[in-house]
Amino acid sequence: MKKSILLIAIAILAFSCKTDKKANQDIAENIEKEEIKTPFVWEAANVYFLLTDRFNNGDKTNDVNYNRTKETAVLRGFEGGDLQGITQKIEEGYFTNLGINAIWMSPIVEQIHEATDEGTGNTYGFHGYWTKDWTNIDANLGAKADLKNLVDAAHKKGIRVLLDAVINHTGPVTEQDPVWPSDWVRTEPQCSYDNYENTVTCTLVKNLPDIKTESNEAVELPPQLVEKWKAEGRYDEEVAELDAFFKATGYPRAPRFYIMKWLSDYITDFGIDGYRVDTVKHTEAFVWQEFKTVCDNAFAEFKQQNPNKVLDDNTFYLVGEVYNYGISAGKAFDFGDKKVNYFDDAFNSLINFEFKWNAAQQTYEEQFKKYDSLLHTNLKDYGVLNYLTSHDDGQPFDKNREKTYETATRLLLSPGAAQVYYGDESARDLTIEGTVGDATLRSFMNWNEIAYQQDLLIHWQKLGQFRRNHPSVGAGKHSMLSNTPYLFSRSYAKDDFKDEVVIGIDIPKGKHTIDVSSVFKDGAQIKDFYSGEILEVTNGNITIETESNILLLENIK
């Protein structure tokens, strides 16, 4: 925007030599009327999190691969969702209608081929967290061409794409998926989680080999990868790329840097916009600073090589899963014997496990005021990703789907970034009969039921679109205007962009005269985005007859 304004200004200067004063004034007035484009702000993002295998089946021909034909426990096998299915919904406008401006997919890399029993029955790696080969997309989910199409389709709609990064472990060991060499992984001890050491230098659970991320010792490629790549005819290409990476960076050929290289390829090859990073606290903190550097360099390379695909000047986005991190902790996560800052020089944001508890225990104003205070002081220039439902949290805010409207209102109107879990907007069942553990949270998207949830879906869509259109909702300063009825403003400013809104929650139905003088000027044309009604500010007030209990007021000039 700044560049375009500068070019216009230069044109005006040149033109002024040949035109009269009135013409110049007309041009200047047109420039002043030029609308400044709403920027994408990660701190206010509206993120949709989906399990790639459980969202939408766009290609039934890839449903079974690698001889994955064993019977599994309920919801512990592959269900057919894939990258093509996600792309279909992007192109149909499903995410756009929801106001989503970023999609986070569970890991898409090739998973172990065999099923394994964790004590919950036979399970395949449908969830994506059991890596066999970081360099390849799992055939059940699609191919690299499918990922390219997905990213391109999302970017055309102004939607960013987050992949899910796993660095600290491979998949479980099976007959078809042998353990990696001992200079790559440890298979014991199992983590006890009672201090920093016993959380980091250990295996998360039994039979989940832990990558030796602390090691700087050079290692050779695992023989099973060498054999696999040769069989697939790409061994020489992969080795040449690794040689070039280690030569360019000067990093030792240590396990973590191989994986960082493989993950960064999804940035340079496809232009993804960020990573959600798994099991952050189970890896040394310095590793994430190194990962940020690798990702930043890869993103800069992509932008340089693909100038026509650059969306904006945002840097690569990293959001971390530090299990049980809460916004009240500020920047420091406490292991008991040690506090670790995962923000500085590493993550832009962390997932906020505290949000659901605050939502259950605090009023809207108590929660909003608290988050506003922390995000603009201790966490200034960083962010949190709030959620109320997730794939591995067995205590969601609304497990029985009894507070579906409040879930939307609380999540989408709170300060911070918002993570919508697939099916939140359609009341997808979280209590599936016959499931064990987190499988109950991971049913297939309930497309066949969504027609019966239209009122709920519309509520999510209105709030989501308003949030997307106004960065002030998630990233702006919060100020309560009235306790009864409950009204507040949010204001955000950066460079030449300014955004202010007024929001009301739990507004009684009927006629209301509302003082908006602290935000909107007399004569301003105001729209209630929720109802669509157009109002004019008179003597600092607007008068509106409400049919819903939500007000979303924006200045349409």
Residues facing 319 on adjacent strands = 276, 349
- Name 368's Cβ contacts closer than 8 Å, sequence gap at least 6: 413, 414, 415, 478, 480, 488
* 3-class SS of residue 103: strand
β-strand pairing of 541-546 with 383-387? unpaired
Which residue reads 């993804």 in tokens? 272
Question: Which residues belong to the active site?
Answer: 278, 321
Going by the DSSP 8-state scheme, the letter that residue 289 receives in this structure is H
The one-letter amino acid at 331:
K
**Which backbone phi and psi does 371 adopt, to 5 degrees?**
-70, -40
Kindly state the helix (H) or strand (E) to which residue 264 belongs, with its residue range.
helix 255-270
CA distances from residue 274 to 137, 170, 383, 541 in whole angstroms, order as listed: 17, 21, 14, 43
Task: Enumerate long-range contacts of 242-249, CB under 8 Å, 24 or more apart.
Answer: 249/294
Kindly state the helix (H) or strand (E) to which residue 546 belongs, with its residue range.
strand 541-546
β-strand pairing of 477-482 with 486-494? antiparallel
Instruction: Measure the CA–CA gap between 252 and 281, rounded to whole angstroms.
Output: 23
Q: What share of the chain is helix, strand, coil (3-state, %, to 5)?
A: 35, 20, 45
Q: Within 13 Å, how many C-alpha atoms sit on residue 193's CB side?
A: 7
Instruction: Measure the CA–CA gap between 544 and 514, rounded to whole angstroms.
Output: 8
Instruction: Measure the CA–CA gap between 428 and 419, rounded to whole angstroms.
Output: 16
- Ramachandran sector of residue 207 (left: φ over 0; alpha: ψ -120 to 50; beta: rest): left
